[in-house]
Structure 1
């Protein structure tokens, strides 16, 4: 049996360099700097860490980064309003809501409020459906499966006809 070590950190650096270049080209050609917005509800340490990492990554590639932090006692309407504000913001091209949300807030309603064009995680029902249909290209693909496929492509690892096992399941790993 042979094996190959895959260096995810190296690939991440390459991807970030490519994103930085694309962002610079977009700004030069259209006067637009890509922007991402994150909505964080509550004070879970793991969620706060993920949001910090996303902000750092956005800064590294020269993207605009916006953040809305709400207490876990906020209403569902407050979260929906934050999504609506980012939907309307022309400097925000992608929105993500850090999950999980508190139990009194409908994840489905909140994620469903994000405009499909700004749905970074690909949770819109049309995106999910497109993933299941052969020949239909979704607007966005969840980061975890997309990242795995990107790693395999960059290492020229053929996956057609192979068996795979996915341990665990969430909306992010579909």
Structure 2
């Protein structure tokens, strides 16, 4: 029987630990805040920001939500980020993606101070992580790595195929797996011979953003399957889990696998930022 990599359950355990750590900070006179910047009125973004605010409340972090109008300029957004960078109470800054198209989103992400980049989305943070230096990892890949570690999934020497090359998921996850001595192949929707590459993998990661793009019969028996996609309308992820979960060795359910780990990793890294600052 396949091992279910239960992100929801593990995230609950992490949350309990973080709550105690935040209480310790508060008892010392510190009230760490996580600032979330939302530009515009994208419904999905509102939902994500609300979820992160609720997680802050459960852990004990101060949730500082900044909602800017859709017509906000890049310069105005940069000024907001500068103000948060200068605020010692704010130990983490998260800019909700996507920003309106007229905003230079990359420039704004990279304005976030490295020590407050708890979402792990700056070029500086990615570069340091890829070079094996200290930096907060992108929240979803870091959450996946924590889940694999928690369930003691062996990585060293294993062949891992990551289907997806986004700068916030596929690319950083590939670097993290490589750092744990996995042999990593990065694929995408244009990869030729993708089925054969997936079939040869010990670890398969779906991060392409297309519902059930990775077919069940591509995946070999005994593989570890990580589905980082979620498509509410189709009620599925990027992998056809229904067709393979009886013969793989371990898999993340959708929902309840990677998603809860993403949010709790964001909380954990915000708490770590506060602990380092007030050490």
User: What TM-score does the superposition give when structure 1 sets the normalisation length?
Assistant: 0.91
The aligned residue for residue 48 of structure 1 is 46
The aligned residue for residue 7 of structure 1 is 6
Instruction: Report how many residues are paired.
Output: 170
Which of these two proteins has the greater Rg computed from alpha carbons? 2
Residue 59 (structure 1) aligns with: 57
Which protein has greater RCO, CA pairs closer than 8 Å, 6+ apart?
A: 2
Other structure's SS at 2:162 match: coil
Distance in 2, Cα, partners of 1:161 & 1:21: 37
Q: How does 1:1-174 map to 2 (within 5 A)?
A: 3-28=2-27, 30-133=28-131, 136-173=132-169, 174=172
Deviation readout 1:19-62 (Å, 9 max, x if unpaired): 1111112223x321221000001111111100000000000000
TM-score by length of 2: 0.58
TM-aligned CA distance change 1:99 to 1:19, over 3 Å: same
User: SS of the residue aligned with 1:24?
Assistant: helix
- Higher strand residue share: 2
Query: Where in structure 2 are there 5+ consecutive unaligned residues?
Result: 173-279
Question: Quick check: 54-63 or 117-126, which moved more?
Answer: 117-126
Q: Deviations over 1:133-172 (max 9, x none)?
A: 2xx3332101111111111111111111112222333232
Structure 1: which 4+ aligned runs deviate by more than 6 Å? Answer: none
Stretches of structure 1 that go unaligned for 5 or more consecutive residues are none
Task: Determine if contact 2:85/2:112 at 8 Å carries over to the other structure.
Answer: yes
Q: Is the 8 A contact 1:95 1:114 kept in 2?
A: yes
> Matches of 1:123 and 1:13 in 2, distance apart?
24
Q: CA RMSD of the aligned region, Å?
A: 1.4
